Amino acid sequence: MTIISFPNLAAFVGGRPYADVKLNPTRLGVPTHKCLVDTGADFLVLPASAAAASGLSLTRATPFPLSSATGPATMSILKGVPIEVEGYLVKVDVVFDPTNKCPPLAGRGSLLAAFKLGMESSDWHWT
């Protein structure tokens, strides 16, 4: 059995799980973002102001049309961004909201990249 420990474990806020996420974590003084854990979301979604606060430029980001709970929108996606999620260092694609109105969301892409779930392909049984 694989046990996953969360070093920054805190009580749920309003009954909802949150994860601590840092963009560009090797840079000193970058802020920590409290991201709602949303396994229905595909990506880590942050306001564009989070990129600037972490020293990331969105000049190489590409427009990214998506559908959200509030309807269709176009945001920017930056691929291969170094992040730290709950103490784990990984690289993921991050979607940035240019309006800075979207709440920070930790989608399953960032969560699966950060946590080894104990599913090894060598353990799969094929018939």
- Determine the pLDDT at residue 116: 62
- At residue 123, does pLDDT exceed 80? no
Would you kindly state where each structural domain of the chain is located, as residue ranges? 18-113
Tell me the per-residue pLDDT of 42-65, one tens digit each, with 9 for 90 and over.
899 999 999 999 999 999 999 999
Q: Within its chain, how far is the Cα of 59 from the centroid? A: 20
- Read off the pLDDT band of 3 (50, 70, 90): low
The mean pLDDT of 5-27, rounded to a whole number, is 77
Token code pair at residue 23: 């963009």
Q: Could you give the CA distance from residue 104 to residue 102 in angstroms, rounded to a whole number?
A: 6
Class of domain 18-113: mainly beta
Mean pLDDT of 20-29: 93
Residue 126: the pLDDT is: 52
Q: What is the mean pLDDT of residues 34-43?
A: 90
Q: For the whole model, what pTM was predicted?
A: 0.79
Q: Compute the CA torsion angle 28, 51, 117, 36 (nearest 10 deg).
A: 110
